[in-house]
Amino acid sequence: MKNKKFLLLVGLLFALGMFLTACGGGEKEEGTGSDGGNDTGSETENDTGAEDNDADAGDKPEFLSLLTGGTSGTYYPLGGEMASIITDETGIQTDAVSSNASADNIAALQAGEAELAFAQTDVTANAVEGINSFDGNPVDNIQAIASLYPETIQIVTVKDSGITSVADLAGKTVSVGAPGSGTYVNATQILEAYGLSMDDIDAQNLDFGESTGGIQDGNIDAAFITAGTPTGAVEGLAATTDVSIVPIEQDKIDSLIEQYPYYAADTVKAGTYDIEEDVNTVAVLAMLVVTDSLSEDVVYDITKAIFDNTDKITHAKGEYITKESALDGIGIDLHPGAKKYFEEEGLLD
Chain segment 325-335, per-residue pLDDT in tens? 999 888 899 99
pLDDT of residue 44: 32
For the chain, first and last CA: distance in Å?
109
Average pLDDT, rounded, for the chain: 85
Q: Are 335 and 145 in contact (CB under 8 A)?
A: yes
* CA dihedral over 105, 190, 327, 79, signed as positive or negative: positive
- The whole-model pTM stands at 0.70
Report how far Cα 182 is from the mean position of its chain's Cα atoms.
Answer: 15
pLDDT of residue 73: 81
Give the count of alpha carbons within 13 A of 319, CB side only. 4
pLDDT of residue 72: 79
Least confident of 111-115, 241-245, 257-261, 264-268: 257-261
Q: How far apart are CA 40 and CA 38, in angstroms?
A: 5
Q: How far apart are CA 221 and CA 30, in angstroms?
A: 89
Q: How far apart are CA 264 and CA 258, in angstroms?
A: 10
pLDDT in tens, 68-102: 988 878 899 999 999 999 999 999 999 999 998 88
Domains in the chain with CATH codes: 60-344 (3.40.190.10)
Q: What are phi and psi of 158, to 5 degrees?
A: -115, 160
Asked whether the predicted pLDDT for residue 30 surpasses 80, the reply is: no
Asked whether the predicted pLDDT for residue 6 surpasses 70, the reply is: no
pLDDT of residue 226: 92
Q: What are phi and psi of 322, to 5 degrees?
A: -135, 155
pLDDT of residue 24: 43
Q: Which residues pair with 152 in a beta bridge?
A: 227, 283
Dump the DSSP string for 312-345: G--SGGGGG--TTTTTTT--SPBPHHHHHHHHHT
Closest CA to 316 of 50, 81, 121, 114: 81
Asked whether the predicted pLDDT for residue 54 surpasses 60, the reply is: no
